[in-house]
Each structure stands twice: as C-alpha cells, then as structure tokens.
Structure 1
C-alpha cells in the first residue's frame, strides 16, 4: 500500500524524523507497511516494575493461593503412587525421601525460582513467553508480518549483553536460515501448550478424588461408588462457578492454602519427632544409590510416582505475570518449600514404623483429633489445586488464540481490575466433560474389593507425570537457547545446567513414559487432539496469509479505483478488516467490483499480535495514508500482545477515530518538516552569506503555518463529519478450499478439518463486539 518505493535496504533507508517545528514535536516514523522490515538498530533495556516491599509481600501472600495449589496437594498421593507394590525394605523409605528432597530442591527451587523466572518476558511467563523472547531476538516467525515500527513499542526491547559471542551468533544464524527449525520451535510451543492443558484435565481428577477418598479412613459406610460420585459432583460444581471469574472464586484461596501448608508442615514436624527423627539422614544422596541397587527396574519405575511431588511447578513460571518474580521467590522459599519438606519428612518417619499403611499414608499419618479438620481442608485445598490449572488453561488458550494457533472462541474478561483474568465458556465445558469422563472411566476399570483402595486411586492417576515432565523438559530446551543467544551465558554454566537439570528431567521422563499403557496414554491422547486442532488452524491460517500476500491489490490499482469516475463516494466512515499487514487484501478488489461505491473515509484495519505480552494502549494503533491524499484512505495496524485483552474501556471504533485524528495532525506537520529538512540540506556546506538564505526560506515556511493549520482543521473536520454520518464495519469472510490438483491430505486438512472448526466456532465480528446493525460481510473464496 505504501506510497513510497520500498528501499533496497530498509535498515539504512528508513526515514527518521525527530525535530521541533514551531513548538510541535514530531515523533520518529518508519514507513514499512509494505515491506518485511528488518531490525531497528539499537537495543534498550526494559525496566522492571518498581514495587515496594509491602506490595511484594502482599503479592507473595496472594501467590500462595494461586500458584501452589497443585504442588501443595501432592503429599496426598506421592508415597502411595511410589510404593504401589508395598515397602520391601525399610531403608527404601529413606531413598524415596532423598529423591523427593533433591527433586524439590533442583526443579522447583533452583531451576524455576532462581533460573527460569529470570527468563520472563516483561513480567510474563510460560511457554509462549520463552517463544516470544526467541522470536524477538531471531527472525523465526513463520508469517512475514514483522515491521520496524513494532520494535519501537516500549515493551519490545530486549536487554542484551554487551559482548557478542560467536556461539550466540552461530545459533541465531542457524535458526533464521532453517525452515525446519522455525517449524520445530512453533510445534514444540504448541506441544507444550497442549501438554499443559492435558495436565489441566487430569489434575482436578486426581486432586479431588484423592481428597474425597480420605473419608473411607473414618467410616466404612462410604463405598467406592459414593466416593466417585461425590468427586464428580465437586468437579461439576467447580466448573460451573468459573463464570463468576477468578477474582471472586479465588479471593479466599490464599488463606486456605496457608492453612493447608501450616497443617501439613506442623503434622509433618510432629510425625518426624514422634516416630523416627533419624530420617533426617536421607539428606545423604547415598540412600538414593542404595535404593536403586536394591530395587533395580522397580526403583526406576517408581520415579513416575515421585515426580508427582513437583506437579504444578510450571505454574511458578506461567503465573508470574499476575505477580512479580520477587513475590514468587519469597512465597516459595519462606512457605511452600519448607512446608513440603516437613510434610514428606513426617510421612517418611511415619512409614518407617507403619510400612503396611503406605497405600493411605497421608490420612493415616494425621493425629486423630485433627483428622476431620484436615479432611475438610484437604477437600478445599484440592479444589484450589484444580482451580489453578483451570485458570492456567484459560490463559494458555487466550495466548494460543492471539498467535493464530487456536480457533476463535469466546473470551470473557471477568475482572475490570485484573486484565489477565479470563473465562472461556467452550473450553470450560469441554474440560468439565473430560474431567468427569476420566474420573468415571478410570474408576470403572478399577478392581472393586482390592486390598489397597488408596493405591487404586493414586496409581491409576499417576500419568499426569507425563505432561508435567514433558513441559519441564521443553522449558529447559527453550531456556538453553535463551542462555546461548540472549543471556550469552558462559558455556560451562550452560553445560552444567544441561548435565544436572537436563539429566534429572530426562530420567523422570523415561520413567513416566514406561507407564504409557497403564494410563499414560491419557495426557498424550488429550495433547494429540489439541495438537491436531492447533496444527490445522495454524497451517490454514498461514496459507491464507500467504495467499493474500501474493494476491494483494497493487498501489497503482488502488489509485485507479479511487480515481474512477463511476465510483460514488458515500458519506460516512468504513472500516475494512483483514489479517494482511503488508498491502491491501484481495477481497477489497472483490468488493469494489460488486459494489461500485466508497465511503468518504476508508480505513483498512489489520489486527496483529506481537511476540510480547502487552502493548501499551498509546502504542496500539499504527496508521499510514494511502495516496492519492485527497481520497481519505488510510491503513491501520492494531497491535496486541499475547496476553492483552481485546476488550477496550471505550468503543473500539471511537478509539480508532481519535488516534486517526492524531495521526492526520502529525502527518501534516511531518510533511512540513521534510520541506524544512530538504531546504537545510540544499544549503548545507554554503558560507555565512548563504546561511542567510536558509533563514529567509525558514521565515517563508513560518508564514505558511497558517495554511498548515487550515489544512489540519479541514482534515479533522472531514473525519468528524464521516464519524457523524455513521460507521460501517466491512468484514472479509474468506471461504477456503483446496486448490485444483491438491492431494488428498491437503483436501482433508482444508476442506474438512479447517472448515469444520470454522463452522462450529466464533466469527470475526465477536472479536470486538461489532454491532450487527452496522456490519457488512464481504465473502470470497480462496483456493489454497
């Protein structure tokens, strides 16, 4: 669309103007809406939030309820899931306790709290945050919609190390030049997302069912079926209240989890002192070696139960955007980690004296006076653990949607105070059905009358470990890339991380994969279905973009259309939506062929997601004028981050018009500044006498200020008049079909897979709540 000819070297030829004209400051400007821009030179660090100590402590308290619900309820089932065949040697308890201690220390504490949290993306965490950091440093995006202006967004900058290392440059070059690497990174990001959602299906099942199962320890009248149906009722209730919003539902979570941690820590300390204080020697890792020597393959298989001690660890990183790095570090180090260590240590001390009670370790180790209070708190804590994963799933789907990796679904913003709190009805009900189905399905396959009822619950549901370890390993892989390319860490630190953390995670991954046929297929099955949906949608999304890029309307054709006498100009403002960033979409040509009329002001609007968490509202709109100037045709790119809400406090069209006015005013003064600059350059190098001519020319330009002001008023009045005459929203609805001669795979992908998803999901107008009375859909078929 751009009026200017695209420069051969955008880096060197982009025009920058930052000057003062008659007291009016002009901003820097890059004209690159028609080209794929390269990096703008210079990097500026993003500052961290200046948060006071009292605010950090307040956030640390809140994070206890949101972040640690899953990992905090793991003591309900870890020992029962580890010793599925009973305890064969008393020192095996020490070996397992030692494994739990070092696993909790290495993965949640060292890896996530002190290393991974540093890789946050301007305060945002999760798989998409890591992917976005890599995308900003290396051009690995599969859709060529990068613009130089994007890198002027304040949150876009990276704080890079000063020294350039050969390894970082080499790795970056390999990624940018390898199409396979680009596809693989996107695939890995989608896989990690699908795995986390799969974990979000299984975590509520295991947490609620394990907690409710504790009632059998107090009364024999409670049958297995009653336990299952009570669990199902709790799960349904949990999902039904999601519509109220995370703020209301989760407000009381922090006190509940604080009570939970206080109780499990206190009971653990009591059991440690009462039964066997000598379990403290499990801090010696030699007991791990002895455990493997005695049990061999069974010890390796039991790692699938031990890994459940760190379920929910990914929430440390994924939820950092709701809090701060320091607040999560404080809550983990001062509350969560000590309470969990005391809980597992106390249970180990209890088991040293009661080997036969391993199938119901948690509830059997509770002192009698605290049994019922602990049971009630366990139920509440299990619901909290489920809530954390459900809320995380909503956020993940929102991020996937913004990057074109998930079909359109309805996103409800449940809080005007907290932007990140969202509710997705379709996803909520699908999760509910999946959780209820898994709970009923797994229980129905259990052997009724089995001697160890708790073993059935715990062991049957141990497969969440597959999703947990998969995501952890993926996070480590992304982190290594960041350490090499962005942090430029010393090679010894990188190797040490891979050898220590990587080896531990791969060992656990090999163990949980061994249980694939015992239920381990469940998270992978959920992930496979989600991956299929995400792949189909993303693949066709990219095909559509390239089709529009190849068939976009040339600037000359647009000028021809605008100058055609047979086209009448209708009063009003027309917003024409498309996904194409560079150029005018081909559907516009289809529109003018059938409707030979243009509105007095026409704006081509493109919705674009940037690889950053949030885009400041003042930097959201990017405008350019389409020549000829008197036709009042503009292009607008509306930029959002992957965690930005699409809900605006003001109507979208009103914000757009206000920003368009600002652009028109700046554009007129910008044009005048070019005249002044060219005048100065024309006299550059002349003597003092010629310098007087410059001043004379400048005086002439000052004399034209009145004309410029008139032009500004005339342009703004034209926009106001178009606004008063009404706004029409033109939506491009593209029907896509496989092109002639396409193979059967491509036809299945496009004609059946993609179109099935599109027919059964939300439409474009729901993104900005466009009023149907002022909406016009323009249809066109793309043969991909």
Structure 2
C-alpha cells in the first residue's frame, strides 16, 4: 500500500510539475528577443498587446464623449478670443474701412494656417502614445536618438510595447547621418533639452496669463456701470473659485464646462451670422488674400505692429496639443473641425460686418455688436466661457509639469491622477495654488486686458515656435519625410510664427517682459534641477559597488543576516548604489532577503503593469540578493505602497520560477554581443533545422530538442537549479515577508566639490539645496509608510 501511495504521490507531483511548466510556457516569453538583450532580463520579452496607441482602439461612443469633453477643456481660450481681438488690433481706431477687410483676412488665414493645418492635421500626430506637449516630443526624440543626458538606456527598454522603435530606413541615409550628428554632439543634446524646457516654461507662463485676460475681458462688459476697480475685484473672486474647483479633476470639470462652451459657440456663431446678414455681407471678400497685401501697403509699420493683436485670435491653439493626453487625436480633430473652427470664424466675420457700419465702436466690439434682446444672456454665458477658457492652459500645464517631473526636469511635487477612465488626467495641488496667486497678482497689477495682451502673445508664440522646431526634427529623423516636405512645414509655419513674434517683441517694455522673465526663471529652475539630478546619477554610476565587494561581503563572517526583507531604493539602473557599503559600514547587518529597487523613468507615456518589473540575481545566488528595475512612464503613477509591495513580491517570485525554468532549459541569460552574433551565424547555417520545446520526464521540467543549434551540450557554464529549488526559494521569501518588509531610502546630500567653480557652488549648494528642501521628499512622493522607513544619509560631492 505504501508503495502504491508513493507512486500515486509521485504521479501527482509529476503532474503538478508539468502544470507549472505549462504555465511558464503560457507566459509567452519571446526567447528570440531575450537572446539579444543583457537582462535585467527575463521579464523583458513579456509584451502586453493590450496597450496600443492612445485611443487607437477606442470606440466611437468613447471618442464622441471625449470630443464633447474637449469642448469644455481645450477651446475656452481660443473660443473667447473674439472678446478682445479687434480692440487689441485697432488700438488707435480704424483709419480706413478696407483695413477691416485686411485684418479679417489676416484672422481667417491665421486660423486656417496655425490651428487647423499645423496643429489639427500635423502636430497632433507627433504625439507620444497619445500625449502632447514639449516633453512628449522630447521623450519621443529620446527613444529614437540617444540624446538623453542621463545614460540609463537599456536594451530591454526597446522590447516595451509602447516603445515602438523603428530603425531608420537604409534608403534615407540623411536621417541616419542627422541622428549620429545629434547623438555625438553634447552641445546639441543640451540645446535640445533647453528648447524643451523653455517651451514648457512658456506653456506654464501661458497658464498664468490665460485666466487673467479671459476672465477680465468677459467681466469688463459691466465696466461702464461699476468701474474698472470693481471689475478687477470680481475677476479675482472668480479666479479663486476656478482654481479651487480644479481638485475635482478634468473629467468632472469637462462634463460641467462642455455644455457652457457649446452654448457659447452657438451664441457667437449666431450673433456673427446675424451681424453678417444685417450689416454687410460684403466682408466675405476678405477670403481673398489680396486684402492682406493692400493692408500692409496702406499702413506699413503700423500694420506690422498690429499683428500682435491679430495673433490673439489663435491663443489657445497649443492647448489642443498640450491637453491631448486628456483626450485623443480623433476627438480633438472632430471637436475643432466641426464646432470650434466654424463658430469662431463666424464670430470674427460678423464683428467685421458690424465694424464696417460702426467703426467708432471698435474699443468694445463684441458687446456693442450683440443684439439688445440677448445682451444679458450673452454676458452671463461670456463670463462662464471666460472662466472655462482658463481651464485649457491650466490642464495643459498640469500634464506637461507631470511629464517634466517624471523625466527629472522639475522639482518633486504631488501629482494626483483624477480619472480612472481616461489616461493622463492629473491635478497638481502645489502648482494649482501657485497659479492662483500669480493670476491674482497679474490682474491686480495690469488691471486691463489691453495691458495684459501685450504680455500674453509672447508666451504663446514662443511655445509655438519651439513646437514647430521639434516637430520638424521628428519629421526628419523619425517619420523620415523627404527634405522638401520638412522644409515646407518648417518654412511655412516657422516664418509665419517668426513674423508674429517680431511684432510681439516690440511690446517688451509694455508688459511683454513678464512672460519672458517668467520663462527664464522657470527654465533656470528646471535646468538647475536636471543638472544636479544628472550629476548625482553620474556620481552613483562612477562609484557603484563592484562585484568583488559583494563576494567579499558574502564571505565576511562579521556581517549578520537579520530576518525579513529589505528594499533599498535608488535611481541607479546599471549597478548597486554606493549607499549600500555606507549602510553595511554603519549597521554591519542586512536582511535575509535584499532587493535593490531602482525607480526608472522611461521616455514613454505608460508602461504596462506586466512589463514594469525587471529582476536579476546578485551573485552569489545563495546570498539572496536581487536587483529590480521598476520602469514607469511619465503618465504612470506609483501605486499605493501596499499594492506596490504586493506587485513587487509577486513579480520576484515569478522571476525566480522563470529563471529556474530557463536555467533548466540551458538558456544563457547573460550572452555577450559576440556570442549573439555567433549564434545568429549558426542559426543561419541551420535554417532548415526546426526547434521545439519538449517535456523532459527525467528532470520533471523541460529541455530543448537536439535540433536546436543554440545549445552547447558539452558546456557546463550553467548551474541548473531544479524547480524544487525555486519552490524552496519562494518559500524562503514568504517567510522573510512574514518577518516584515523594511524600506531603505538613500538621503544623499549633494554638495559641490571644494575645487569646483563659483557658479557650480552657487547652483549646487544653494539653489538646488533650496529646491530640494522646499519641495516634496522622496518618501512622500512614493508614499512609503513611515513606520517601515529607514533613511540612510550620505554626502555626494559633484
């Protein structure tokens, strides 16, 4: 009976083993891809096919829902421009009636050229997995060109489902030459980063000026009865309420605001058509660009200076790209093409028709052109729309700051993801209240929309010019368009924006200094943070722990192992950080299971959960030390510590099982480049041979068939661990978990080297130190529980 029982138990164990092997095979690891990468490694080939292009698999119902939301989020700014464009253009009054046609023609073709052609049909497609903005463009470039200043690229990253890396075609050698030139030029890499940071700073500055001018211009409709002081006071109260409402998130704000903006577009389109047919249908002649030429001939320098006012008709265009992460390409294209574009065009045409009969009323064109019967309903809707206009750039600024934070270019702030249904919708409390204070100061200082408009255009046009440059680079190197297509895009849009910028810059002393000063301040702040962040990483890279040190540590009898699991956090990807020897020297003991956790930002929007964790054994294996790289995109959020801990442990166990499985297979997970080439040659010679995986009943695992050319059966390089060994190791980890998990966080103080330059000492010892102390600390950013946190102090000299 006992023998029969033993045989039954043996059969059951064998069945369990076969079942485990089948589960391992079901993980769908791409063996061919894994041979090509070094390996923090085994998880690298687990590609999720569920995370495609942003919005590519959205049904039309979802797309229409997002298109409706986008009306309330994206177009408030460009939609409320009719409130002040004509008054900002004709600051000295209308001297010739045909000037109205010239300005209207400029407005029509500016709207067609920049928002419609450039953004809707070109720039929106330069997204990074559905995310827009300067940093999305920069991350897209960094994936295809090795221009990142922090050398943490790994071959495994290319296997991510969202990476979508394509090698330039051999037929377009120009793209390859430009790629090599940029990669080999340190100055070009710095210039690219600075352009990205400056564009981001411009958008942030725009997020401050947009609420000020939009709300103030709407409330000014009652300035004649209450006075300008009361208008400013009401504007400030409205702004405080608006910023207080941001915490509810883009999703709720969008559904609340969209009906109001839709009604607003209906009002301005209806009023425009009313004025067109009532006063002068002849203004439709402005579709002939001849009137633009005549306008410049007639007015000369004054016409050029008036371009600053004309440009205000497209402020908010960049919100379509900056806010793209909140929606998708199709929803933005639909809402702009079918609602926003025809509505604002009708509004400007109608106002031009009104001015052709009443040119003396240009200082308050919008309110003067409203039919008396609907004046107050329009005023109420205008105020609501102006409040909502602020939302466009606020949401865009939140998204871009979140991206900058993930790529190490912004001090640590709290990012709240406000929607579980739609990706990329975030709220940043600290930035929100900084914006509110800045808007209040701007309104109180400038008091009128005319003065704010002098500052407003420079921030917008600066960001547009940087976007044009980055998209041109993407077209050349990534999209691999022909040189004439890239030249046409760059010259057409770049020259137009340069012309508008030259007009805007003349208003520097009248208020234009504000966005330039704020952009310089924010660029300096982000530049300092990224510089020290990079130097800190390079210090850890240069001083990383050697393998000899680990072997000596394993053999040192004075080092004790305490029960439990330790998670040592660092940013270093290529090795063990220097904070570890500092810990050993101070404590002389480590946990029975130790995991070096590196939080790595990947230049993609999102990393699928099943692709997030990469593990590697730290030799000697019996020491039970592991390296783990936790990869996240700039729109990912680090989970709750309990959830994160559970995911890490589950993936560690899966790694141990899979590592044991591959070792049993005889697969080399640390192949050198030369070995890979040799194997590919062998594989080519054996093209007619077939390879398959078959069960190995003797070992209770699986082995590769003899026809596989990769396996060298005479090699004893690999120490095959049986599945039972993996199970023992998993049980050991479970016991360590029962004793508790301790989070160890390196708190490295960064100081300048004594012999460094005076500027470096100012930047590192004072500027960076101030930012680090006054923004969020690492443990708060990752929500590490305080009772299980051990901080390790160390000083880095850079």
Q: Deviations over 1:336-391 (max 9, x none)?
A: 10001100000000111111111101111110111111111111111111112112
Alpha-carbon deviation of 1:162? Answer: 5.0
Which moved further from structure 2: 405-414 or 283-292? 405-414
Instruction: Rate the CA distance shift 1:105–1:695 in 2: closer, same or farther, 3 A.
Output: closer
> Aligned partners of 1:34, 1:696: CA distance in 2, in Å?
27
Alignment map for 1:158-197 (pairs within 5 Å): 158=165, 164-197=171-204
Q: Does 1:777 align with 2:781?
A: no
Aligned equivalents of 2:39 and 2:21: distance in 1? 26
How far off its partner does 1:421 sit? 2.4
Partners of 1:478 and 1:676 lie apart in 2 by 41
CA shift digits 1:126-177 (9 cap, x unpaired): 1112111111111111111000111111000135675631211111111011
- 1:757 aligns to 2:762 (yes or no): no
Q: Cα–Cα, structure 1 residues 150 and 729, in superposed 2: closer, same or farther, change >3 Å?
A: same
Deviation per CA, 1:52-88: give whole Å up to 9, x if none.
3333222222211111111111111111111111111
Q: Is 1:263 the equivalent of 2:267? A: yes
Question: Which residue does 1:11 correspond to in 2?
Answer: none
| Residues 327/193 of structure 1: CA separation in 2 closer, same or farther (3 Å cut) | same
1:85 aligns with 2:85: no
2:250 corresponds to which of 235, 246, 249: 246
Identify the match of residue 121 of structure 1 among 119, 125, 128: 128
| Other-structure match for 1:504 | 496
Distance 2:53 2:603 in 1: 18
Distance 2:773 2:749 in 1: 11
The residue number in structure 1 matching 2:372 is 368
For structure 1, which segment, 299-308 or 156-165, has the greater mean C-alpha deviation from structure 2 after superposition? 156-165
Once residues 47 and 77 of structure 1 are traced to their aligned partners in structure 2, the CA distance between those partners, rounded to angstroms, is 39
How far apart are residue 737 of structure 1 and its match? 0.8
List aligned pairs for 1:359-438, cutoff 5 A. 359-438=363-442
Task: Give 3-state SS (helix, strand or coil) of 1:156's partner.
Answer: coil
Look up the match of 1:207: 214
The answer on whether the counterparts of 1:33 and 1:581 sit within 8 Å (CA) in structure 2 is no
Query: What does the per-residue CA deviation read over 1:463-503, in whole Å, with 9 as the maximum and x for residues that have no partner?
Result: 21111111111111111111111111122222222222121
- Contact 1:95 1:282 (8 Å CA) reproduced: yes
1:245-292: CA deviations, max 9, x gaps?
233333211111110101100100000001110000001111111111
- Which residue of the other structure, out of 94, 111, 132, is the alignment partner of 1:104? 111
Q: Deviations over 1:507-561 (max 9, x none)?
A: 0111111111110011111111111110111110011011111111101101211
Q: TM-score normalized by structure 2?
A: 0.88
Which position in structure 2 is the counterpart of 1:462?
454
Check if 1:734 corresponds to 2:748.
yes
Distance 1:383 1:149 in 2: 46
Query: 628, 640, 659: which one pairs with 2:632?
Result: 640
In structure 2, distance between residues paired with 1:334 and 1:245 = 26
Structure 2 unaligned blocks of 5 or more: 1-19, 42-50, 672-678, 684-688, 704-719
2:737 matched residue in structure 1: 723
How big is the shift at 1:27? 4.4
What is the distance in 2 between the residues matched to 1:339 and 1:703?
Answer: 68
Shift of 1:457: 2.4
* Pair 1:598-2:584 in alignment: no
Q: State the shift of 1:642 in Å.
A: 1.1
User: 1:451 is matched with which residue?
Assistant: none
Deviations 1:638-694 (A, max 9, x none): 11111112245962111111111111111111111116999xx9xx99xxxxx9xx9
What secondary structure is seen at the aligned counterpart in 2 of 1:756? Answer: helix
Asked if structure 1 preserves the Cα contact closer than 8 Å seen for 2:72 and 2:258, the reply is: yes
Task: State which drifts further: 132-141 or 418-427.
Answer: 418-427
Match of 1:71 among 78, 82, 96: 78
SS of match in other structure, 1:519? helix
What are the Cα deviations for residues 12-59 of structure 1, in whole angstroms up to 9, with x where unaligned? xxxxxxxx9677425443664699xxxxxxxxx965622333332222
Listed as ranges, the gaps of 5+ residues in structure 1 are 1-19, 36-44, 444-455, 686-690
Alignment of 1:650-661 (within 5 A): 651-661=643-653
Q: Partner of 1:564 in structure 2?
A: 556
Structure 2 match to 1:544: 536
Shift of 1:393: 1.4
Give the structure 1 partner of residue 520 of structure 2: 528
Secondary structure in 2 matching 1:528: helix
Deviates more, 1:166-175 or 1:410-419: 410-419
Q: Which moved more, 1:54-63 or 1:388-397?
A: 54-63
Find the residue that maps to 2:157 and give its secondary structure: helix
Whole-Å Cα distance in 1 between the matches of residues 695 and 780 of structure 2? 54
2: CA distance between counterparts of 1:108 and 1:696?
A: 59
Matching residue of 2:65: 58
How many angstroms apart in 2 are the aligned matches of 1:154 and 1:707?
31
Q: Which residue of 2 aligns with 1:743?
A: 757
Instruction: Give the CA deviation at 1:724.
Output: 1.2
- Take 2:575 and 2:479, find their aligned partners in 1: how far apart are those partners? 36
Q: Residues 588 and 160 of structure 1: is their aligned pair in 2 closer, same or farther, counting only changes over 3 Å? A: closer
User: C-alpha separation between the residues in 2 aligned to 1:145 and 1:305?
Assistant: 46
Q: CA deviation at 1:244?
A: 2.6
Instruction: Give the C-alpha shift of residue 707 in structure 1.
Output: 7.5
Q: Is the 8 A contact 2:604 2:634 kept in 1?
A: yes
* Alignment length (residue pairs): 735
Q: Provide, for residues 708-735 of structure 1, a one-character-per-residue CA deviation record: whole Å limited to 9, x for no partner.
A: 2311210111111111110100000001
8 Å contact from structure 1 (residues 413, 647) kept in 2: no
1:408–1:763 Cα contact (<8 Å) kept: yes
Seen in structure 2, the aligned counterparts of structure 1 residues 233 and 580 have a Cα distance that, compared at 3 Å, is: same
State the SS of the aligned residue for 1:118: helix
Q: 1:232 aligns with which of 231, 236, 239?
A: 236
CA distance in 2, matches of 1:433, 1:696: 68
Q: How does 1:605-616 map to 2 (within 5 A)?
A: 605-616=597-608
8 A contact 2:40–2:616 mirrored in 1: no
- SS of 1:780's partner is strand
Taking the aligned partners of 2:489 and 2:427, their CA distance within structure 1 comes to 37
Query: SS where residue 515 of structure 1 aligns?
Result: helix
Whole-angstrom CA distance in 2 between matches of 1:597 and 1:525: 52
Distance 1:319 1:593, change over 3 A: same
Equivalences for 1:127-142 in 2 at 5 Å?
127-142=134-149
Contact 1:247 1:421 in 2 (8 A): yes
Contact 1:205–1:438 under 8 Å retained in 2: yes
Distance 2:88 2:275 in 1: 20
CA distance in 1, matches of 2:452, 2:639: 42
Residue of structure 2 equivalent to 1:6: none
User: Which residue does the alignment assign to 2:686?
Assistant: none
Which deviates more, 317-326 or 560-569? 317-326
1:519 match: 511
Q: Secondary structure at the match of 1:576?
A: strand
Distance 2:62 2:418 in 1: 23
**Aligned equivalents of 1:431 and 1:619: distance in 2?**
36
Deviation of 1:214 after TM superposition, in Å, equals 0.7
Kept in 1, the 8 Å contact 2:595–2:626? The answer is yes
